[in-house]
């Protein structure tokens, strides 16, 4: 028994050291950034016409950090991403506040760029150095969300929980692994190259140690358009062709942003994020005829056009094909987006990233999709789409194994603001 007590005491002592280290690191990180003064400012081929349908060979424009909404939501997908879920280890509301303030300070610096400050000869370097002496400006977006578990009894936030935020349910075709599901906080780090993403992850982990720890993480990428248009997923099909045009403010307000009155006041300007980790059984898919593949998806693999069209962004004409002779009734695009007045309000902003984890224990290729989508209401939008997709032919070649529901916090409006300020000070 004494050995068990000693072991527990040791663990408690280490936990205290980690928390104190986090709080000291938070204060040091904020001070160093200010002193430096160098900041410059379920479905695989979803039919979710789009102004940001995919990446191009030209680097995407820099996304400003400050604004009413977090910039990573509307920014076109970058080449590399890390989707990371965290468990919060902060002990009380004060420590949670320090965590979110620290996260904001690091995200601001990493997204806007600058020179990491020297901390002295005897101190560890303030930066890992993997990007060289300068953090590039405008190459990174950081998108932060909160899971339903953050609103338990630990921090006194239960009454402030967004109305539609809950644990992601298990859908009929899922094979969910609890180790790859849910979380208190979500972070998506996206940039033009993997080293920028990994640098940001290391920096944030360093400065928040003791306040949160990784629950699960999956790295992804988008491919260059081949030969043009929207990038392709591991099935060989273009992914995200029919996103809504959220560059139009009215469309974004209708489908994406949470507005005043519908949710707690602090949530205004946020949006719901659904993350689905979907394995693709590529070795089986690659043995299917191209005709069958295209009928399962509803599009031409080469051009991305619907089977009744000739170009990628042609709208399918379902009214001319009521029996599904050209585009089958159970094809993915027809189920995901029937293009009817009744389903128009169910559209989602889809963001897909490929992943490759090598092999599984049986020697099979372990590849798939990090599916991420944003919407005003996950029940009205994502879940309605997911119910229609249940049992689709494509489900024989995909296995959703993880992910979660998160509420993406409103944006950081200026240098005095921080992520979650409205929530923690409500």
The string of pLDDT tens digits covering residues 28-76 is 444 444 333 333 335 454 444 444 544 445 556 667 899 999 999 999 8
Name the token pair of 5. 């007590």
pLDDT tens across 89-130, in order?
Answer: 999 999 999 999 999 999 999 999 999 999 999 999 999 999
Residues written for the chain: 426
Strand partners for 167: none
What is the pLDDT at residue 33? Answer: 41
Closest C-alpha among 181, 151, 156, 155 to residue 169: 181
H-state helical runs in 300-378: 332-336
Residue 393 to residues 109, 306, 366, 412, Cα–Cα distance (Å)? 46, 17, 21, 43
In angstroms, the CA 47 to CA 42 distance is 12
Q: pLDDT by residue for the chain (426 residues), tens digit each? A: 444 334 334 434 444 444 545 554 544 444 444 333 333 335 454 444 444 544 445 556 667 899 999 999 999 899 999 999 999 999 999 999 999 999 999 999 999 999 999 999 999 999 999 999 999 988 899 999 999 999 999 999 999 999 999 999 999 999 999 999 999 999 999 999 999 999 999 999 999 999 999 999 999 999 999 999 999 999 999 999 989 999 999 999 999 999 988 899 999 999 999 999 999 999 999 999 999 999 999 999 999 999 999 999 999 999 999 999 999 999 999 999 999 999 999 999 999 999 999 999 999 999 999 999 999 999 999 999 999 999 999 999 999 999 999 999 999 999 999 999 999 998
Count Cβ atoms below 10 Å from residue 298 Cβ, excluding itself.
28
- pLDDT of res. 35: 39
User: 3-state SS of the chain: helix, strand, coil percent to 5?
Assistant: 30, 20, 50
Give the start-to-end residue ranges of the domains of the chain.
1-426
List the helix and strand counts (H, then E) for the chain. 9, 8
- At residue 262, the pLDDT reads 82
Tokens 């004409």 correspond to: 317
Tokens of 179: 């180790």
């Amino acid at each position: 028994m004494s050995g068990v007590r000693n072991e527990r005491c040791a663990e408690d002592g280490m936990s205290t050291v980690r928390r104190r280290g986090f709080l000291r690191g938070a204060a040091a990180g904020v001070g160093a950034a200010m002193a430096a003064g160098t900041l410059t400012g379920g479905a695989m081929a979803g039919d979710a016409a789009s102004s940001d349908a995919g990446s191009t060979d030209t680097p995407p424009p820099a996304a400003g950090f400050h604004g009413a909404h977090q910039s990573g939501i509307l920014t076109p997908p970058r080449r590399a991403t890390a989707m990371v879920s965290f468990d919060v280890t902060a002990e009380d509301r004060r420590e949670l506040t320090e965590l979110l303030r620290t996260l904001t300070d690091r995200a601001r610096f990493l997204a806007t760029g600058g020179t990491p400050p020297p901390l002295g000869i005897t101190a560890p370097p303030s930066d890992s150095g993997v990007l060289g002496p300068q953090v590039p400006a405008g190459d990174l977006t950081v998108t932060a969300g909160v899971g339903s578990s953050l609103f338990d009894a630990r921090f006194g936030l239960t009454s402030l929980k967004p109305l539609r935020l809950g644990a992601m349910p298990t859908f009929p075709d899922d094979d969910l692994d609890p180790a790859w599901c849910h979380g208190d906080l979500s972070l998506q780090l996206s940039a033009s190259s993997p080293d920028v993403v990994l640098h940001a992850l290391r920096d944030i982990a360093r400065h928040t140690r003791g306040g949160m720890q990784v629950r699960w993480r999956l790295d992804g990428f988008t491919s260059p358009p081949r030969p043009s248009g929207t990038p392709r997923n591991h099935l060989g099909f273009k992914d995200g062709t029919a996103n809504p045009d959220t560059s139009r403010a009215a469309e974004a307000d209708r489908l994406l942003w949470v507005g005043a009155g519908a949710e707690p006041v602090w949530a205004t300007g946020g949006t719901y994020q659904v993350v689905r980790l979907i394995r693709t059984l590529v070795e089986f898919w690659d043995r299917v005829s191209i005709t069958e593949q295209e009928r399962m998806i509803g599009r031409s693999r080469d051009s991305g056009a619907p089977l009744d069209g000739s170009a990628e962004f042609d709208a399918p004409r379902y009214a001319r094909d009521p029996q599904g002779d050209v585009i089958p009734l159970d094809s993915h695009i027809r189920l995901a987006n029937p293009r009817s007045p009744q389903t128009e309000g169910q559209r989602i902003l889809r963001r897909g990233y490929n992943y490759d984890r090598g092999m599984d224990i049986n020697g099979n290729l372990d590849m798939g999709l990090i599916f991420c989508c944003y919407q005003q209401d996950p029940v009205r939008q994502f879940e309605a789409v997911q119910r229609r997709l249940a049992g689709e032919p494509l489900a024989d070649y995909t296995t959703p194994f993880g992910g979660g529901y998160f509420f993406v916090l409103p944006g950081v409006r200026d240098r005095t603001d921080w992520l979650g300020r409205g929530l923690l000070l409500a």
